[in-house]
Every structure is written in structure tokens, then in C-alpha cells.
Amino acid sequence: MKKSNTSHATRAFEKALTTRPEGRYFLRLYVAGATARSRQALRRVYQLCEAELKDNYDLEVIDVYQQPELARGNQIVATPTLVKEFPLPVRRFIGSLLNTTGLFGEVDLIARGKIA
């Protein structure tokens, strides 16, 4: 049953990616529990997304302690990790989310003209 749910979720996610409006960002933030570092990362990602992407993004937050299978399946080895799933190419930013320039460079927003 677990495998069926996983494959159904994978199919649903892939379908969502193909029907996502052009230019809309899908981001995943992987955190480790309700720690101060996790809260800081979440707060920072929300601030940056609201400032730069406005309402043009979807953010999914995944606690690797509560959903370890997602972390393993997506090869998450450290937290916090921010993954830009869409638009392609997929980009990852691992570690401190305090450096805005590094963050946006890693998730490919500069190349898409979202920030200078």
C-alpha cells in the first residue's frame, strides 16, 4: 500500500508540473524538526519569495524527521535545503539561507530576470 501511495503521489506531482503555468515557481524547503534554524530558514524563504516572486510561487515545507522517505528519495543529505523544482532545471541550495545573492543565484532566479 505504501508503494501505491508513493507512485500515485509521484504521478500527481508529475502531472502538476506539466500543467503548471509558465514561469510559476515550485519550491521545496527541507527542514529538520521545529528548531530555531528551521524556523529561520522558513522565515527567510518566505521573505525572499514574497519580495521577489510575489504570488508566483508554491512552497512546500518538508520536515525530514516526519517524512524521511521524501528526504531519502530526493537525496537530501543536509538541512535546510531549498529545491527549485520548477521551472526547470532543478536547482538546490543547501545550508544558510541568509545570503540572498547566493540563494537566488543557486535557484536560477537571476538568469530568469526576476532580480538584478
| pLDDT tens sequence across 82-102 | 999 998 888 898 887 776 555
DSSP classification of residue 43: H
Q: Domains, the chain, ranges and CATH?
A: 23-106 (3.40.30.10)
92: left (phi over 0), alpha (psi -120 to 50) or beta: beta
Q: Quick one: three-class SS letters along 44-107?
A: HHHHHHHHHCCCCEEEEEEECCCCHHHHHHCCCCCCCEEEEEECCCCEEEECCCCCHHHHHHHC
Closest Cα to residue 79, out of 63, 95, 90?
95
Amino acid at 114: K
Q: Which residues contact 114 (CB under 8 A, 6 or more apart)?
A: 52, 53, 104
| pLDDT tens sequence across 29-64 | 999 999 999 999 999 999 989 888 888 999 999 999
Least confident of 8-12, 15-19, 75-79, 83-87: 15-19
Distances from the Cα of 96 to the Cα of 11, 24, 72, 93, angstroms = 32, 24, 21, 9
